[in-house]
Amino acid sequence: MLRKIFFTLLSTLLLILGVKPVLAETVLESVARTGKLVVGTSFDLVPYAYFNQQEELDGYSIDIVKLIQKQLEEELGKPIKVDFVEANNLTEVFPKLTSGEIDIACNRVFTWERDRYVDFTIRYGLSGIRLLVPTGKTSDSFANKKIGIPPLTFVEDAMKLAFPQTTFVPMQTLAEGVEALKAGEVDALAGDSVILDGVRQQIGPDDYEIFPQLAENPYARYGVACMVPENNSGFLNIANYAIAKMMEGYLVGDQQSLDIVNKWFGPEGVIEIIDPNLVKEFYENTIINHEQIPFSN
């Protein structure tokens, strides 16, 4: 039912805004002509994309974009500038992406409904659905409790399977959900594990916890990727190659690749992954499904 609702809402949105799925100029042609790559991203999504203490846009997805930028420069033989445009949720991302206002949008999860309108890069991150709860308030049932749910996602499907007797409260934005949790209007906030742990660190590392813990299985698991407009195979190939090359570098011990990943998900990273083998296995499986890239330091 949720997927049908999402598909209907998305179709209506695109029709209302008059979005044309096919553009006269491809992304690669536009980047080559203008020397500019326009990226749609959130500005406050730790650890994917946010402003750090130096007021610089930083994050794992920002590092991925920089790798794509570098690969574009090598392919096109010219400097490429990256412009970042704020685009937080799907109602902002889809019109901008399909109309050509932005060239790529990261921090996104593949679904078959979304794939009807855009294409996805290979996954560069692994996450899952968990809950953010006040410390000491975890429960295996959450019966008669209230859980905040983000909009236009499959999170609600997973939560209904796990907690059929729970009341789910729709949230328009992540910020709204966080405020509702802090105010006690909901007992837990459901969402992406990595993002929720970033929120936890911002609002009170000792006051809130992730449930189930990162060492345990989530309610659902998925990869995180970038979205690009359909019918842009040239640009998609370049983006995929840049991502796969970073993964291969991590696996063979390339220092730059190790630094990128460990900065965000290492033992002392922004998000501490309890089992580093998860990252390694995820990268290995991704490379196996594509092509191993000869890597020289």
pLDDT digits (tens, 9 = 90+) for 8-59: 445 444 444 444 444 578 999 999 999 999 999 999 898 999 999 899 999 9
**Does 227 map to a domain?**
yes
194, 220, 246 - which closes a domain: 220
Residue-level pLDDT at 152: 62
Residues 45 and 181 in one domain: no
Same domain? For 163 and 35 the reply is no
Boundary (domain end) residue, out of 220, 251, 270 = 220
Is the bond preceding 212 in cis, omega lying within 30 degrees of 0? yes
Residues 70, 35: Cα–Cα separation, whole Å = 12
The predicted model gives 227-255 an average pLDDT of 95
Query: Are 170 and 149 spatial neighbours (Cβ–Cβ below 8 Å)?
Result: yes
**One domain for residues 65 and 178:** no
- Based on the fold, state whether residues 50 and 149 are members of the same structural domain: no
Distance spanning both ends of the chain, measured CA to CA? 50
Pair (114, 18) in one structural domain:
yes
Q: Is residue 98 part of a domain?
A: yes
Could you tell me if 120 and 67 lie in one domain?
yes
Joined together, the tokens standing for residue 107 give 């921090």
Domain shared by 196 and 253, yes or no: no
How far is Cα 118 from Cα 222, in angstroms, rounded to an integer?
Answer: 18
pLDDT at 136: 87
Q: Is residue 240 included in any domain, yes or no?
A: yes
d(CA 277, CA 41): 28
Within-domain flag for 194: yes
Query: What is the CATH number for 200?
Result: 3.40.190.10
In this structure, are 160 and 280 located in the same domain?
A: no
Q: Which amino acid belongs to residue 193?
A: S
pLDDT in tens, 190-208: 999 989 998 998 898 899 9
If asked whether residues 215 and 234 sit together in one domain, one would say: no
DSSP assignment of 91-111: HHHHHHHHHTS-SEEEEEE--
pLDDT computed for residue 290 by the predictor: 73
DSSP-assigned letters across all residues of 155-206: HHHHHHHH-TT-EEEE-SSHHHHHHHHHTTSSSEEEEEHHHHHHHHHHH-TT
- Whether 294 is in a domain gets the answer no
Whole domain around residue 282: which residue ranges? 2-125+222-288
What total of structural domains would you count in the chain? Answer: 2
- The Cα–Cα gap between 269 and 244 comes to 21
Q: Which tops the pLDDT comparison, 227 or 9? A: 227
Decide which of 191, 220, 249 is a domain's last residue: 220
Q: Which one has a higher pLDDT value, 140 or 99?
A: 99
The tokens describing 68, both together, are 């794509």
pLDDT of 5 strictly over 80: no
Asked if residue 270 is part of any domain, the answer here is yes
Distances in Å between the alpha carbon of 69 and those of 6, 10, 290? 32, 30, 21
pLDDT band at 189 (very low <50, low <70, confident <90, very high): very high
- Quick one: what percent of the chain has pLDDT higher than 70? 88
pLDDT of 273 above 80: no
Residues 194 and 253 in one domain: no
Please say if the pLDDT value at position 6 is more than 60.
no
- Asked if residue 135 and residue 112 are part of one domain, the reply reads no
Residue 297 lies in a domain: no
Kindly state whether residue 296 falls inside one of the protein's structural domains.
no
Task: Give the pair of three-digit tokens for residue 192.
Answer: 């992406």
Burial label for 206, CB within 10 Å (0-12, 13-18, 19+), is exposed
**Coil, helix or strand for 268?**
coil
- The pLDDT score that the predictor gives to residue 292 is 65
Confidence of residue 165 (pLDDT cuts 50, 70, 90): confident
pLDDT at 225: 95
Amino acid at 101: E
Measured torsion, CA atoms of residues 151, 103, 196, 122, in degrees rounded to the nearest 10: 110
Query: Residue 86 — very low, low, confident or very high, per pLDDT cuts 50/70/90?
Result: very high
- Averaged pLDDT of the chain: 86
**Averaged over 220-237, what is the pLDDT?**
94
Rounded to an integer, the average pLDDT of 113-123 is 91
My answer on whether 134 and 159 are in the same domain is yes
Helices 155-162, 2-16: crossing angle, 10 deg rounding: 160
